[in-house]
A and B are shown apart, each in its own frame.
Chain A
Amino acid sequence: MTSAEEKAPIDIDDVDTDFVEMIIKTGGPNIRSCYQCGTCSGSCPAGARTNYLVRGIIRKALLGLKEDCISGPELWYCTTCYTCTDRCPQDVKPTDVIKAIRNVAVAEGYMLEPHQKVALKVLEAGHAVPLDKESWEKLREKVNIEPVPPNASRFPDAIEEIVKIAKKTGFDKLVAEKEASE
């Protein structure tokens, strides 16, 4: 994917720190404390079966390699199990750092199509997994509860509110723009 391509070496004395600042602001404030011990990757069930390497991504981020970090699809293999966060000796909170990098990736247009669809479902139905078939209502009746639960599936005002919130935060555009470009 990325590592096999030939690239110019990074000049450590001239690192672009904008990306790190972005991560710090977006929910990964402790990223600079990382001393690359590898406890996170050693604990990582995603890294055990894919080319996702949490320690490597953190190091790349510290070196300012933004494009490298946000464009690789492996960024999306973290299940957010927080095992690394519980074990990191430097309190880097690697899971939060990865989530922050994903926020930057999405803001720059790197969103996987299935993820975009889930996001749209919440704007359409108020739920990522909606009550979208009659058979689901039947299933509810089979377990002796009312066919439509008292959540956004029953109260369309809730969906309207979510759309308004998403408009205010700019999330609707983030999701829609990609749709238009496809």
Chain B
Amino acid sequence: MAKKQKYYHFLGCIIPHRYPSIESAARLVFKDLGMELLDMEGASCCPAPGVFGSFDRVTWAAIAARNLTIAEVGGHDITTGCNGCFASMFDADHEMKHDPELKAAVNEALAEVGREYKGTIEVTHHVDALHRIGLDKIREKVTRPLTGVRMAIHPGCHWMRPKHIKKKDESERPHILRDICETTGAEYVPYKDELICCGAGGAVRTADVKTALDFTKQKFDSLESVGGADIIVTPCPFCELQLDLGQVEIQKHFETEYHYDILHVVELLALAFGHEPEEFGLTTHLQYQMRKNEPNWERLGIEVQKAEDAVPTE
């Protein structure tokens, strides 16, 4: 076979600092698929597109471009498991390529730290990288089919929208993420509000968490109205945080209780590829940490050896 495909692994903030199980699962899954993930040393916050892009466009683009220059110097494309990080770097790259004034302002700022943005690197999301590997190759690796698991999908916004820039999928009827998720054998459950935003983006969660949670609650209620699901799969850690930790917060703010296991697409694939949940730390999701519980193993169809099974206590 040809040379091993290599990508710089852009981590961002939420994955490495709050949901590290996603980082761990990504390493397992990409290794299984024969792809090398390289450390991107000294990469910073992407910085959050809806937040920093809302504060000051030039600063946003300059910090994003600094991240791009790390990959440009190393000579490999980037892949990231976060919709926000993906959008920040992809959109900044796109805007600088179409707006010479912005590019000039950014390079003026980067000159202060001895860097120059050239525009030679492609920014991909894990979803893109997986899609390029191909559904058949992914299917070949599935050793623990998630047959019978009812799977809802939350694609989130920034991987596919705005569609005229991202040019990924039909944003009103996306199928790429669903196709990848369905290789695991899980059963896709459609619901009306699948495509609405989780509510966290654009600095809304930071400004007013209750309003952000109201979006999330609408999604859960929409899903409940079709009979619920066993898991919700998303390609974004910020969406994952909002849907996962959000359930604990919704209980506090709205006194409504939901119990959904939320999986990042690479966590879903890690399970389907036969990895045990403790290999990548599925139980570290903040929902379980706060509620002092664990994923619904029975619903997931996964047998886990529990400590109390091995050592009987009184």
Contacts and interface: CB of A to CB of B under 8 A. Distances in A.
Interface of A: 26-27, 45-46, 49-50, 73, 76-83, 85-86, 93, 95, 99-100, 102-103, 106-107, 111-112, 114-115, 118-119, 122, 126-131, 136, 139-140, 142-145, 149-155, 157-159, 161-162, 164-171, 174
Nearest to B197: A81
Chain B interface mostly: helix
Most chain A CB atoms below 10 A, which of B14, B24, B59, B214: B59
B44 A119 contact: no
Contacts of B17: 127, 129-131, 136, 149, 153
B43 A165 contact: no
Given A81-B157, A127-B44, A103 B197 contact: no
Contact of A145 (B24, B161, B208, B211): B24
Contacts of B200: 79
A174 B52 contact: no
Interface of B: 11-14, 16-18, 20-21, 23-24, 27, 39-45, 47-59, 62-63, 66, 95, 105, 108-110, 112-113, 115, 157-158, 161-164, 171-172, 195-197, 199-204, 206-208, 211-212, 214-215, 218, 279-281, 284
30 contacts: A45-B196, A49-B215, A76-B203, A79-B199, A80-B201, A81-B157, A81-B201, A81-B202, A82-B157, A99-B50, A118-B51, A122-B45, A122-B52, A127-B13, A127-B45, A128-B45, A129-B13, A131-B16, A143-B21, A144-B281, A145-B23, A149-B16, A150-B40, A151-B11, A151-B43, A159-B44, A165-B63, A165-B66, A165-B113, A174-B56
Contact of B280 (A107, A128, A144): A144
Given A79-B199, A86-B161, A122 B63 contact: yes
Given A131-B16, A168-B108, A50 B211 contact: yes
Contacts of A50: 211
Contacts of A129: 13-14, 17-18, 45
Contacts of A149: 11, 16-17, 20, 23
Contacts of A168: 62, 108-109, 112
Contacts of B203: 76, 115, 118
B88 to A, nearest CB: 11
Contacts of A171: 55-56, 59
Contact of B207 (A86, A103, A112): A112
Given A49-B214, A142-B284, A162-B66, A122 B44 contact: yes
A50 B211 CA distance: 8
Given A122-B44, A168-B108, A106 B55 contact: yes
Contacts of A46: 204
Contact of A79 (B23, B53, B105, B215): B215
Given A81-B157, A95-B162, A168-B112, A145 B27 contact: yes
Contact of A139 (B39, B51, B197, B284): B284
B63 A162 contact: yes
Contact of B39 (A45, A150, A169): A150
A100 B58 CA distance: 11
Contacts of A174: 55-56
B45 A103 contact: no
A130 B13 contact: yes
Among A80, A115, A136, which residue has the most Cβ atoms of chain B within 10 A? A80
